[in-house]
Amino acid sequence: MAWHSISARETVQKLETNAETGLDEVESGRRMQQFGPNQLEEKEESLIEEILEPFKEPMMILLIITGILYSFLGEPQDAIAIFTIIVIIGIVETIQERRAESAVKRLKITIKPRAKCIRNGRERVLAGTELVPGDLILLEAGDQVPADARLVDALDLETGEAALTGESTAVEKDPYATIKENAVIGDQQSMAFFGTTVMRGKASAIVVATGMRTELGKIAKAVQEAEESPTPLQQKMKQLTLWFVLISVILCALVVIVGIVKGEPPLDVILFGLSLAVSTIPEDLPIILIVCLVIGVRRMAKRHALIKRLYAVETLGTTTVICTDKTGTLTQNKMTVTDIFAGGATTKLGRSKSGIPAIASMVLKIGCLSNNARIEHPATESVEVIGDPTETALIQACIDQGLDPLALSKQFTRLGEVPFDRKRKRMSVICKSATTAEIHVYMKGASESLISCSTRWMPGTKLDAIVPIDDEARTMILDTQKSMASAGLRVLSVGYKPLESFQTTKDTPTIEQGIIFVGLVGMADVPRAEANPAIAECIQGGVKVVMITGDHKDTAIAIAKAVGIDGKQKALTGEELDGMSDLQLENTIKDISVFARVVPEHKLRIVRAFKKHGDIVAMTGDGINDAPALKEADIGVAMGASGSDVARDAAAMVLADDNFATIVYAMKEGRRIFDNVKKALRYYIASKIAVMATAIIATIVGLPIPLLPIQIILMEVLTDIVASSAFQSEVPEPDVMARPPRIKGVFVLDRRTQARVFANGVTVASGVLVVFSATFTSGGTVEKARTMAFATLVLAIIFLAVNNRSEKRPLFRLGMISNRNMLVSGVLGFGVTFIAIMLPPLQPLFKTVTLGAMDWLFIFLAAAISTFWNEIPKLFNKNLNAIKV
C-alpha cells in the first residue's frame, strides 16, 4: 500500500484505528499475533545446516575420503578413529558458532528501542518491539522513529534519513502534502520511516508497517542475503593450508613409493601413508583459528565489548588511531551545574539549599522552563530526572536549590516551542504565566548563538535593571564563557523576552530576536576514573587517541588534558574544518588530537584523512549520522547503551557500557588473541613437521615404519585440538601494550618464527628417531621400538605445547599452573597415552607393549632434550623476565 499517497484520514480508516485515542489493548494484542514483533529479523541457519556447514570445507572432505579408504583397506578401529575426529571437529565448530551468535542476541535484547504510544487514549512508553500497525505514536526531536508511520499532525518536523537515502541533510515533513504514488522515499514528506531520527519538531503518526515490512527491513533483508567476505587472516590461513596439503600429499606419496620399493608390505605402507596424511594435512587449522577467535570474542563480551564481525578482532591488534566521542565515553555523561554567571558575578553551586542570588535563581528557572526533561516518581524519595544530560542537570540544579520544577511548569503554561537544532544552536519555548497572563520567550543555547540574538542584558543583581547590550558587554560575557570553558565546563547561556501575543512558532526569526541576556550556566561532566589509565596504555602501545566532541574548543581542550590526551598537539573546530580542503586536512591531521564543535558529518572526513596517512582507524559513534563514518573506519565502534540501532548495525564492535576503557581492553585483548594464535600455529605446524620428518627420515635411512596408523590417529586426537585450544587461555605477554601495533596484512608467522618452527619439528623428530633406532638396534622388538617412538612423540609434543606458551619468558617465570587448560590437556594427553601403552586390554588395539621404568626415563629425557632447548634464549631476556604479570 502506498500510504504516502493517501490522506491521514484514509490511513486511519483503512487501518481501523483512531487518530486521537489509538488502539485498545485487545486489538493491539490481536494484531501482534497477526504481524509479530516489530523488529528486524536475522537470517538464521537451522541446526542441521549449522552442523553440516563444517563438512563443506575442502579439508573435511579430504578427511572423509581418507576415512572411507580406511574402511575398505584398513582395520575397523582405524576407520572409527578417523570418523571420530571428523565428528569432534564438526561438534567443536558448531558449538562455538552458536555461542557467538547467542552472545550477539543477548546484547540485542538489552538494547531495545522505546516508543511513545497512545493506547486507549493514554500516553504510554513501550518497547519498540510491541508496536503494531494502527498504533498512534508520538515523535519529538531526538527520537528514533520506531516503525514506518503515516504522519497525522506535525510541528516543524524534520527527520534525518541518511540511513535510507544517503542524504545527510534533514528532510522537512508535511502530513498534508500531496504526493504521487510512485514517489521515491526521499520525496515522501508525509511519512516517517523506521530507523530514521527526528532532528527537529514534533509529530503524531499512525504506524503502517513494522519489522521486516518496513523500508529499513527491506534493506536489512538484502544485506542478510549478501555473504560476508573472509578476513585477510582467514585467506592467509587458507593459503597456508593449501600449501601444507600439497607438500603433505607429495611427501606422503614419496614415503609410500620408497617403502614399496624397499620391500615393505604394500598394504601396510599404503595405510601408513594415509595415516601420515591424516596427521600432517592441517585439516583443523581453520578450526584452531575459529576456536581461538571465538574464545577471545567471548572473553571480550564478558567485559562489555561485543564483536559483531570477525575481522574486527584482526583489526584490533593493528589499530593505530582511536577517534572517540567525549561525552559518556571519556566522561561519565552526568552533567552537574557548578557555576552560574549572572549580574556580573559568579555563583558557585553546591548541594546545600542555603540560597543563591535572585538573578542566579532566575537563570535556573529559565533553564528549567526551556527544557524537555521529565521527572519520574515526583511524589517519592526516589525522584529521577530523565532526558538529555544537559537538561536533566538544569532540572536537578533547580531541585537542589529548593526550586520546584513541577510547580514552575504549572505556573507557566507552554504555548509553543522552537526546538534545538545544530544550525541555530539554541532552543526557545513560549510560555504564558497563569498568574499574570503575560507571555514570554525563554531561550537557552550556545553563548555565541544566544548573544547574537540579544539586544539587552541584566548587568546587576536587580531583576528590573535591564540595559542595552554593547560590544564591551558582549566581549566581557564571551570572555567569561571562555574562562569557564577553559576550566572544563560546558557552558550554556539563557535569556528571555516578553511577547505581546503568540500565534505560531513558524516565524522563528522574529520570536528569537531582541532577547534579554540573563546569564551563563557552567556544567561539569566528570571524566571516568578509568579513562586516564586507558589512554596512557594507548600512548604506551603506540596508539594515538583523538577526542571528537560538539563542545566548545576550550572545554574540549580542558577535558583532553584531564584524561591525558596529548596536550602538545593542536585542537581544531568544526568551523575551521569546514574552511579546509581535504588535502589541507590530510597534511595537518597528524598534529591534531582534539576536534571541537563538530557535527557527525565531520567524522567521515576525519576518518578518511587519517586513513590517507596509512593509519588503521577505530571510530566511535552513537547516532544515525555516525553510520557512514563507522562504516568507513577500519573498525567502527557503536555505543550499546546510548547508541542508535543504525549505528550498532553499521559498527563492527558494540560497547555495552559506552566506556572508552572497554575499547582499550578490547584492543589489548585483540593483541593477546593474535599472540596466542601465533603460539598455537607455531606449536601446531611444528607438531605436523615432527610427524612428517619422523616418517621421511626413517624411510630414507632404511628404518622400519616407526609409527602405526592407529598410533598416529591417537596422537592427533590427544594433542592437536586440545592443546591448540588451550593456548587461548594464556595470559597476555607483559609487553602486549608496550609495543607498536602489529602491521596489518603481515602474516602472524614471520620468517624468524618460521625457521624456529621448522627447527622445533626437526628436533622433535630427531628425538623420536633416536629412541626408535636405539631400541630397535639394541635387540628390542619392532613393536617395542614403535611403542617407545609413539610415547616419545606424544610426550615431546606435549612438552612443545608447554614450551610455546611464551616466546620471550621462560617457563619458570610463567608458572606451571598459570594456564590450567594447558596443564589439564597435557596431563590428559600423557595419561591416555600411558593407559594405551600399559593397560593390557588396550595393547592389541593400539599395537603397544608394556614399558619398564628405565624405558620411561629414556622417553622423558629424549622428549625434554628435543624441546626444552627453546628455553635457553629466554633466560637472557632480562627486561621481560623482570616483569611480573
Judging by DSSP bridges, how do beta strands 653-655 and 305-307 pair with one another? antiparallel
- DSSP lists the bridge partners of residue 431 as 414, 440
Of the candidates 78, 135, 156, 325, the residue annotated as catalytic is 325
**How is the chain split among helix, strand and coil, in percent rounded to 5?**
50, 20, 30
DSSP string, 582-609: HHHHHHHGGGEEEEES--HHHHHHHHHH
The grid coordinates listed for 798 are: 606435549
Q: Locate 718 and state its grid cell.
A: 590427544
The candidate with the shortest Cα–Cα distance to 527, out of 571, 553, 488, 566, is 488
Residue 214 is given by DSSP the state: S
Contacts of 35 (CB under 8 A, 6+ apart): 132, 133, 210, 211, 213
Paired sense of beta strands 454-457 and 515-527, if any? parallel
Query: Hey, which residues does 140 pair with through a beta bridge?
Result: 202
DSSP string, 499-530: ES----SS-HHHHTSSEEEEEEEEEEEEEPTT
Task: Identify which of 397, 386, 502 has the alpha carbon closest to the alpha carbon of residue 441.
Answer: 502
**CB of 848 within 8 A of CB of 787?**
yes
Q: What stretches of 331-392 adopt beta strand conformation (E)?
A: 331-342, 345-348, 374-376, 384-386
The answer to whether the CB of 707 falls within 8 A of the CB of 833 is: no
Pairwise CA distance, residues 112 & 128, whole Å: 7
Maximal CA-CA distance, the chain: 117
**What is the rounded distance in angstroms from the CA atom of residue 870 to the CA atom of residue 503?**
85
**Angle between helix 232-261 and 58-73 (nearest 10):** 20
Phi-psi region of 702 (alpha: psi -120 to 50; beta: other; left: phi over 0): left
Single out the residue of 367, 339, 357, 365 nearest to residue 461, CA to CA.
Answer: 357
Q: How far apart are CA 146 and CA 217, in angstroms?
A: 12
3-class SS string, 551-572: CCHHHHHHHHHHHCCCCCCEEE
Show the cell assigned to 263.
620391500
User: Who contacts 716 (Cβ-Cβ below 8 Å, separation ≥6)?
Assistant: 85, 278, 279
Please give the DSSP secondary-structure letter assigned to residue 713.
H
Active-site residue flag, 582 = no
Cβ(430)–Cβ(440) below 8 Å: yes
- Determine the 3-state secondary structure of 847 from DSSP: coil
- Give the residues across from 192 on adjacent strands: 149
Neighbouring residues of 157: CB distance < 8 A, sequence distance ≥ 6 = 139, 151, 172, 173, 192, 198, 200, 201, 202, 203
What is the set of active-site residues? 325
